[in-house]
């Protein structure tokens, strides 16, 4: 590592990697330095079912929570914004790669409250209930069972 370099790039994140790539054909000796090692894409949170939980642990945007060996503490107590960084090859692009693999089938089973209300209403109608609107105070649907004799 004592060879002279023509270009030294500090940080191999989005900008640093793009600059290194654009200079690669110039035949210059280019060196990228980054704080931290290479990440294994097979270990990214998006490859597992616990990806949301890992956002609050080993893949937190805050180095204070993530606490990897290459992270350093940041005091953002008096700041209205919080830092988002990643110390490793790729920098913050590890957090924001604009690439997300296919979702798991279980990701489609969790639905919002409106979807659950509509689904409940469909089931009640199918069972013969008549829906009389929504209660203004809580938004829940009321159902009254129709008499089978009146049909």
Q: pLDDT (tens digit, 9 = 90+) per residue, 84-97?
A: 888 888 887 787 65
Task: Please tell me whether residues 98 and 115 are part of one structural domain.
Answer: no
Shared domain check, 100 and 40? yes
Q: Categorize the per-residue pLDDT at 110 as very low, low, confident or very high, splitting at 50, 70 and 90.
A: low
Task: Give me the chain's average pLDDT, please.
Answer: 76
Are 53 and 67 in the same domain? Answer: yes
What percent of the chain stands above pLDDT 90? 11
Question: Do 58 and 41 have their domain in common?
Answer: yes
Q: Identify the residue with better confidence: 83 or 141.
A: 83
**Beta strands, E only, the chain:** 7-10, 30-33, 129-134, 141-145
Report if residue 28 sits inside a domain: no
**Cα torsion angle, 44, 46, 49, 51, sign:** positive
Least Cα distance to 63 among 53, 73, 77 occurs for 73
Q: Are 102 and 24 in contact (CB under 8 A)?
A: no
Could you give the angle at the alpha carbon of 11 between the alpha carbons of 7 and 14, nearest 5°?
A: 105
23 located within any domain: no
Q: Which pTM does this prediction carry?
A: 0.51
Judge if 39 and 97 occupy the same domain. Answer: yes
Judge whether 1 lies within some domain.
no
Q: If you count DSSP H runs as helices and E runs as strands, how many of each does the chain have, helices first?
A: 4, 4
pLDDT range class, residue 9, cuts 50, 70, 90: very high
Tell me: pLDDT of 59 over 60: yes
In a domain, 16, yes or no: no
Whether 14 and 93 have beta carbons less than 8 Å apart is answered as: yes
Quote the pLDDT of residue 30.
92
List the single range of 7-11, 24-28, 44-48, 95-99 with lowest mean pLDDT: 95-99
Q: Are residues 60 and 95 in the same domain?
A: yes
CA–CA gap between residue 110 and residue 42 (Å, rounded)? 25
pLDDT at 111: 63
Is the pLDDT at 98 greater than 50? The verdict is: no
The mean per-residue pLDDT over the stretch 59-74 comes to 88
Structural domain of residue 136, as residue ranges? 111-150
């Amino acid at each position: 590592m004592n060879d002279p370099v023509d270009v030294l790039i500090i940080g191999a994140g989005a900008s640093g990697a793009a600059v290194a790539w654009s200079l690669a054909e110039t035949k210059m000796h280019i060196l990228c330095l980054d704080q931290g090692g290479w990440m294994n894409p097979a270990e990214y949170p998006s490859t597992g079912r616990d990806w949301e939980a890992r956002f609050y642990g080993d893949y937190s945007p805050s180095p204070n929570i993530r606490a990897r060996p290459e992270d350093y503490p940041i005091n953002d107590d008096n700041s209205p914004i919080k830092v988002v960084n990643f110390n490793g090859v790729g920098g913050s692009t590890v957090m924001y790669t604009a690439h997300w693999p296919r979702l798991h089938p279980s990701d489609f089973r969790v639905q919002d409250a409106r979807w659950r209300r509509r689904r409940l209403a469909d089931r009640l109608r199918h069972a013969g209930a008549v829906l009389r609107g929504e209660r203004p105070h809580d938004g829940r649907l009321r159902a009254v069972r129709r008499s089978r004799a009146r049909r």
